[in-house]
């Protein structure tokens, strides 16, 4: 399993508003190997930016590459910038250990 995080720095006061861009289905949910998408928000008092962490979970690296090379990906990211986005970084993590809840 693969988790891909896109960490986006946002002007203070705009994180929750920009998170709504990820609320609509823009094709990622229909991709083979896609498991889920989550958007996390952090706003620390006195910090000069807020942070959105967009996490997508995939069956494997090939499924993620299928998304990034798809027409749906290009459409979803067309004109995706915002004056309130201050920067972004992408990271990929392979799942090595997982514990389900004890029943």
- Domains of the chain are 2-94 (3.30.70.100)
Average pLDDT over residues 9-27: 93
Per-residue pLDDT of 21-51, as tens digits, reads 999 888 999 999 999 999 999 998 999 999 9
Confidence of residue 80 (pLDDT cuts 50, 70, 90): low
Q: How far apart are CA 83 and CA 29, in angstroms?
A: 27
Average pLDDT over residues 77-101: 90
Answer whether 0.75 is exceeded by the pTM.
Answer: yes
57 CB contacts (<8 Å, ≥6 apart)?
A: 1, 2, 3, 34, 35, 36, 37, 38
pLDDT number for residue 30: 95
pLDDT for residue 6 is more than 70: yes
The sign of the torsion formed by the CA atoms of 64, 1, 8, 29 equals positive
């Amino acid at each position: 399993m693969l988790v891909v995080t896109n960490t986006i720095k946002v002007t203070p006061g705009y994180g929750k508003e920009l998170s709504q861009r990820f609320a609509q289905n823009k094709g990622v949910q229909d991709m083979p190997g896609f498991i889920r998408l989550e958007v996390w928000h952090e706003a620390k008092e006195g910090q000069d930016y807020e942070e959105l962490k967009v996490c997508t979970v995939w069956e494997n690296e090939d499924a993620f590459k299928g998304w990034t090379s798809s027409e749906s990906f290009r459409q979803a990211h067309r004109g995706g910038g915002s004056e309130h986005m201050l920067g972004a970084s992408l990271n990929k993590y392979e799942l090595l250990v997982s514990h389900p809840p004890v029943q």
